Amino acid sequence: MIPSAVRLAAARTPLIKFLGPRSALKQVHHEATRHPSAPKDAEYPLKTGPIGKVASSSSSSSSSQQVTKTAGPHGASRTVLDFAELPNRYRHPQLTEAEIEAVEAGGATMIY
């Protein structure tokens, strides 16, 4: 016989191996649980939702900065400053006109 005809006549076995019916699979619980590496003092299940803001002025600082207290996901409050009030060393550097033109042109025309 021709080998290809014999091969076509044989029963086809798929390369994928099935585990069996889905009822035999382990049931997975989709509950919120603590991660094994999570801190032990964190509250679970996690509280989700919009973060509430309570505005207050900083009494320890002599400057007139606007400090915002926000509630984190675990209920702990954090102090947050506005980006506009950060010192210059933490801000993005100002772009020069040459850099802006290079970006708008695609950057291929500027030679360093």
CA 40 to chain centre: 23
Residue 27 placed within a domain: no
What is the maximal distance between C-alpha atoms in the chain?
A: 97
Residue 69 placed within a domain: yes
Say which residue, 79 or 52, is predicted with more confidence: 79
**Under 8 Å between Cβ of 88 and 71:** no
**Under 8 Å between Cβ of 54 and 67:** no
Write out the residue range of the structural domain in which residue 111 sits. 47-57+65-112
Residue 81 placed within a domain: yes
Question: In whole numbers, what is the pLDDT of the chain averaged over residues?
Answer: 71
Sign of CA dihedral 23, 28, 29, 30: negative
Kindly report, residue by residue over 12-52, the tens digit of the pLDDT: 888 888 777 777 667 777 776 777 887 777 666 666 655 55
pLDDT of 54 over the 80 cut: no
Residue 95 placed within a domain: yes
**pTM to 2 decimals?**
0.25
